[in-house]
Amino acid sequence: MEVTALPPPAWVRDAVFYQIFPDRFHNGDLGNDPPGTRPWEERPTHRSFSGGDLAGVLEKLPYLVDLGVTTLYLTPIFAASTNHRYDTENYFRVDPALGGNQVLQELVSALHERGMRIVLDGVLNHCGTGHPFFQDVAQRGRSSPYWDWFQIHGDRPRAGPPPNYACWAGHPQLPEWNHAHPLVREYLLSVVRHWIGHGGIDGWRLDTVEYLPPDFVRDVYRTAKEAHPEAYVLGEVMGLATSWFRHRALDGVMHYKLREGLVRFLAEGAWDAPRFARYLHGLWASYPREANYACYTLLGSHDVPRFLTLCGGDARRVALGAAFLFAYPGAPAIYYGDEIGLEGGEDPDCRRTFPWDERAWKRDLQETLRTLARLRREEAALRQGDVRWHYAERRALAFLRELPEVEVLFALNAGSEESAVPLPPGDPWADPLTGERLSGRLPLAPLGFRYLKRRCR
């Protein structure tokens, strides 16, 4: 089959993602901490390092397995000069402060042994000024063989302001690659190929896709699928991604548009359920069906304030948001720390270190997330089923996930008063968590949610 005609990999529908910002998750090796590493408890700044690394991720795998996570998404891990590492200096070398290539191989092996997967951050729009090719251009000017690999106006790159070369969002430390140059493309595609083939990773999350030429993104997609037909190609697309799917350039996107609706409905309370449902219907219709199932659905990431913070610290609303994502098509993602109630505003505050002192955890929220992941694992309808809307009135909504043999109903009440949803008629429904049997009406507590199921005849 032509790689461009492949459906998104089937495993994505079954995935529960966990996003890790490696400098902030867990410090498993104090010996590789970069100079000036701050104490773990300290609030991060734009420039500070906290010392987290891949040994830390490896050490906490049992924690992630227990939570119900199946797939890791790591923000950039290759050699760079900043804590976020979006300024790549060497695409083939895991940053020594994260443990180097060997630890990544150990992590990949440990994940695969457990039937888990890993997706890395592909930063292919730009590099860092410390990248040797940009350094060569800075030193040799037009006589550098890499001169045309960038887009420089003048005889030497100058950081400005304003910079005299193309750079991401005007940041002079992030010079953009010249994707019109065939050797640049081949170089970047060799990165894509290397880490899927030799490195054994299971997919790429492509950074800042909206800045990349669409035909290059298609080349990345094709290269990834040729290296591994089950590779997942996920795009960071903040707006509507319709055209990316039309051109078969991505399997799915980080579903920030869905998150926007959840923020309005659950965090801000600005929308009622009918408005939220109409918004979701519009989003659903904008993407091919299979893409809706292959999106990475999220409450938060390293680029937006924590959902708990947007909810004014009310963990029940985070639980509602998570319950919605675990019931809805797409692969639900947990941003590290969201499960134990970590707070944080705009970057860098949303990138705080994970507090491993359990006294700081919201245990109820964590237990809810663990239960949601278990339900999703046990109920195939939640992963594979068709979605059919059933109810949206005032602050309450309900929809069904349907397979030929079983249907699951999900209902939530975002209001501060008791509510109830009329149940679809026919056989009684059962709560898979408590065994309780219901028919007629489903009462919903304030800021409560329920899952019900029944066999189809």
- Positions touching Ca ion (CB under 5 A) are 27, 29, 32-33, 51, 53
Across-strand partners of 18? 72, 334
Q: Which is nearer to Ca ion, 33 or 347 (CB)?
A: 33
In the chain, count H helices and then E strands. 15, 18
Cβ at position 33, least distance to Ca ion in Å: 4
Catalytic residue (choose from 207, 219, 338, 339): 207
- What span, in angstroms and rounded, lies between the C-alpha atoms of 275 and 394? 9
- What span, in angstroms and rounded, lies between the C-alpha atoms of 189 and 399? 42
Q: Which is nearer to Ca ion, 93 or 194 (CB)?
A: 93
Cβ at position 81, least distance to Ca ion in Å: 16
Which residue is associated with the tokens 């590789």? Answer: 32
Catalytic residue (choose from 89, 219, 236, 272): 236
Q: Is 436 a catalytic residue?
A: no
Cβ at position 75, least distance to Ca ion in Å: 16
Classify residue 217 by its DSSP letter: H
Q: Is 23 a catalytic residue?
A: no
Which residue is associated with the tokens 């035909």? Answer: 215
Single out the residue of 166, 220, 169 nearest to residue 195, CA to CA: 220
- What span, in angstroms and rounded, lies between the C-alpha atoms of 248 and 284? 17
Q: Which is nearer to Ca ion, 53 or 272 (CB)?
A: 53
Phi, psi of 452 (to 5 degrees): -130, 155
What are the respective helix, strand and coil percentages of the chain, to the nearest 5?
Answer: 40, 20, 40
Cβ at position 152, least distance to Ca ion in Å: 36
Classify residue 151 by its DSSP letter: -
Cβ at position 52, least distance to Ca ion in Å: 6
SS3 168: helix
Q: Which is nearer to Ca ion, 51 or 329 (CB)?
A: 51
Q: Which is nearer to Ca ion, 32 or 292 (CB)?
A: 32
Angle between helices 315-327 and 363-378 (to 10 degrees): 10
Q: Which residues are catalytic?
A: 207, 236
